[in-house]
């Protein structure tokens, strides 16, 4: 088990190294840099002033030297300074992390609470009117982009109720009720889409398991419907669903851009887009690395969960 985890972490480190090179180069391949943006807000460009600022920010160094600086600093826990805000990058990033983690987690809770039961009902009631209804419901969720749904929710609320959730972030400590209201709607918008995927995976996986011999045996032994489906069948059908949940969580960490923008939540994803537009390299590089770490760790956690959920799964020696 320890060897397996060590191997996985080793692979994770290699992945992070690859990611660091890719994100570093891709950012520099995009046209313009922070100095161009700064001059853009001034409406002109002065070559000598431009060169001075590039020097000040270390952008005049060769690429390999800039990369080495970044990796070297990161290794000692220094994430550098935001070009845009002139503040330590971590100071800028730190308040964004809980917002996105909370939204992703709540969205996932919504998607699981919605997706798993509907998937089970759909599988158990296969080819009935209820099954068709739930499949249409899930297909609609997959077809509707969450940002579109978010905007429709906002516009609908303001048109019918003259109300929208708070547009300034309410911290849980300041007003927990308002905080939950603020997160509930975006979590529903995002969770609905994810739930559609979870529902479909749950349904197909459960249909497969329900045809297994041991399920037939359970029915033959006269076990209750609840016991057969929820205790025996679902436990084995849930493995692919756990995989999807893990992938969804990882996706949500970086994929909430438009939802955070529409609901005006100060999260990582929205900030990442702004940082890209500003070519704020330290912020973008470190945020992408953070997202990569979350993806790697959530995959590892999912793999570990396999062992918990299915005793047959054993990790290498």
Contacting positions for another protein (CB under 8 A):
30-33, 36-46, 49, 52-53, 84-87, 92, 95-96, 151, 154-155, 157-159, 162-164, 166-169, 261-264, 266, 270-271, 274, 277, 279
Q: Are 270 and 260 in contact (CB under 8 A)?
A: yes
φ/ψ of residue 81, rounded to 5:
-120, 140
Tokens of 165: 């959730």
**Spatial distance between the Cα atoms of 137 and 315, rounded to a whole number of angstroms:** 38
Smaller CB separation from another protein, 92 or 189 = 92
CB atoms within 10 A of CB 142: 15
**Spatial distance between the Cα atoms of 315 and 312, rounded to a whole number of angstroms:** 10
CA-based nearest residue to 189, from 300, 72, 111, 295: 111
Smaller CB separation from another protein, 87 or 180 = 87
Nearest approach, Cβ of residue 255 and another protein (Å): 17
φ/ψ of residue 107, rounded to 5:
-60, -40
Give Cβ neighbours of residue 158 (< 8 Å, ≥ 6 apart): 164
CA-based nearest residue to 251, from 198, 313, 205, 202: 198
Smaller CB separation from another protein, 165 or 246 = 165
Alpha-carbon dihedral sign for residues 281, 282, 283, 288: positive
CA-based nearest residue to 163, from 176, 150, 154: 154
Nearest approach, Cβ of residue 69 and another protein (Å): 21
Residue 314, classed as helix, strand or coil, is coil
Nearest approach, Cβ of residue 184 and another protein (Å): 17
**Spatial distance between the Cα atoms of 121 and 191, rounded to a whole number of angstroms:** 19
Smaller CB separation from another protein, 53 or 300 = 53
Nearest approach, Cβ of residue 140 and another protein (Å): 22
Smaller CB separation from another protein, 10 or 156 = 156
**Spatial distance between the Cα atoms of 245 and 187, rounded to a whole number of angstroms:** 15
φ/ψ of residue 280, rounded to 5:
-85, 80
Smaller CB separation from another protein, 169 or 306 = 169
**Spatial distance between the Cα atoms of 118 and 241, rounded to a whole number of angstroms:** 13
Smaller CB separation from another protein, 9 or 155 = 155
Nearest approach, Cβ of residue 38 and another protein (Å): 6
Nearest approach, Cβ of residue 272 and another protein (Å): 11
Nearest approach, Cβ of residue 155 and another protein (Å): 7
Nearest approach, Cβ of residue 287 and another protein (Å): 13
Tokens of 162: 């003259």
Smaller CB separation from another protein, 92 or 206 = 92
Nearest approach, Cβ of residue 231 and another protein (Å): 46
Smaller CB separation from another protein, 66 or 223 = 66
């Amino acid at each position: 088990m320890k060897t397996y985890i060590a191997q996985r972490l080793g692979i994770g480190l290699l992945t992070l190294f690859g990611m660091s090179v890719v994100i570093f180069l891709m950012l520099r391949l995009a046209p313009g840099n922070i100095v161009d943006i700064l001059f853009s807000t001034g409406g002109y460009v002065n070559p000598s002033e431009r060169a001075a600022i590039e020097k000040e920010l270390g952008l005049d160094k060769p690429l390999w030297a800039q990369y080495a600086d970044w990796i070297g600093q990161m290794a000692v826990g220094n994430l550098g300074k935001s070009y845009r805000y002139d503040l330590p990058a971590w100071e800028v990033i730190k308040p964004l992390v809980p917002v996105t983690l909370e939204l992703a987690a709540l969205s996932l809770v919504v998607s699981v609470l919605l997706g798993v039961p509907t998937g089970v009902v759909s599988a158990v009631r296969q080819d009935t009117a209820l099954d068709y209804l739930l499949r249409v419901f899930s297909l609609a969720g997959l077809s509707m982009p969450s940002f579109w749904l978010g905007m429709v929710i906002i516009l609908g609320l303001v048109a019918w109720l003259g109300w929208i959730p708070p547009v300034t972030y309410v911290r849980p400590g300041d007003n927990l009720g308002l905080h939950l209201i603020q997160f509930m709607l975006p979590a529903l918008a995002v969770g609905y889409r994810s739930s559609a995927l979870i529902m479909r995976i749950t349904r197909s996986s459960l249909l497969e398991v329900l045809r297994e011999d041991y399920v037939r045996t359970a029915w033959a032994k006269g076990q209750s419907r609840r016991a057969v489906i929820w205790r025996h069948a679902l436990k084995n059908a849930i493995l692919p669903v756990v995989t999807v949940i893990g992938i969804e969580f990882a996706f949500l960490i970086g994929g909430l851009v438009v939802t955070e923008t529409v609901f005006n939540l100060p999260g990582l994803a929205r900030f990442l887009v702004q940082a890209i537009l500003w070519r704020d390299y330290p912020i973008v590089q470190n945020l992408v690395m953070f997202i990569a770490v979350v993806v790697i760790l959530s995959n590892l956690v999912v793999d570990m969960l396999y062992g918990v959920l299915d005793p047959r799964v054993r990790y290498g020696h």
